[in-house]
């Protein structure tokens, strides 16, 4: 009976390339996970993603002459807290009404706002967050907003919008 004996620490010529390939795949897959960051199946779980999505959708709706709050209440509810929606409806139905768009704090929507939405200065603490949203890119069109968000269920939702003074 013949036994194939190998010296300790030595790998056969056939298994070495396979083992090297498996190690390479393992290292590469680990690096791509590190570079990509943790996977997040729901982008609304992060305030920055929620605000960017909201303003893209909201400004697109306004550009198509739709009123997002009344025309798409379910979609609005994905981004805006229940309490804020109630407050806005109360303001709209008050004798004074609203003299500006609540989410842009302006009467006019500028053309470059939809294509230039920057969310910065995100701060999170427990179930609340704040962020700065800058719409527009030119000196004349740039408009800054300070937003507060609350965590409702698994989603960050807008709870307050204020105009922010430029630095």
First to last CA, the chain: 85
Per-residue pLDDT for 8 more than 70? Answer: no
- Rounded to an integer, what distance in angstroms lies between the CA atom of residue 116 and that of residue 96? 32
**Tens digits of per-residue pLDDT, 30-69?**
433 333 333 444 444 599 999 999 999 999 999 999 999 9
Structure tokens at 129: 């967050």
**Tens digits of per-residue pLDDT, 84-103?**
999 999 999 999 888 899 99
51 and 44 Cβ atoms separated by less than 8 Å: no
- Written out in words, the top-level CATH class of the domain with range 43-163 is alpha beta
Domain boundaries along the sequence of the chain: 43-163
């Amino acid at each position: 009976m013949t036994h194939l004996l190998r010296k300790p620490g030595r790998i056969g010529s056939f298994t070495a390339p396979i083992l090297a390939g498996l190690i390479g795949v393992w290292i590469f897959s680990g690096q791509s996970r590190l570079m990509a960051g943790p996977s997040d199946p729901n982008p609304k779980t992060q305030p920055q993603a929620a605000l960017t999505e909201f303003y893209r959708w909201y400004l697109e709706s306004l550009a198509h002459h739709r009123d997002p709050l009344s025309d798409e209440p379910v979609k609005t509810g994905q981004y805006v807290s229940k309490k804020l929606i109630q407050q806005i409806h109360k303001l709209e139905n008050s004798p004074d009404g609203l003299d500006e768009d609540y989410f842009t704090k302006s009467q006019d929507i500028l053309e470059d706002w939809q294509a230039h939405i920057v969310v910065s200065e995100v701060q999170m603490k427990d179930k609340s967050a704040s962020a700065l949203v800058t719409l527009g890119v030119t000196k004349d069109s740039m408009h800054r907003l300070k937003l507060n968000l609350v965590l409702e269920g698994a989603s960050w939702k807008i709870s307050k919008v204020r105009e922010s003074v430029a630095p």
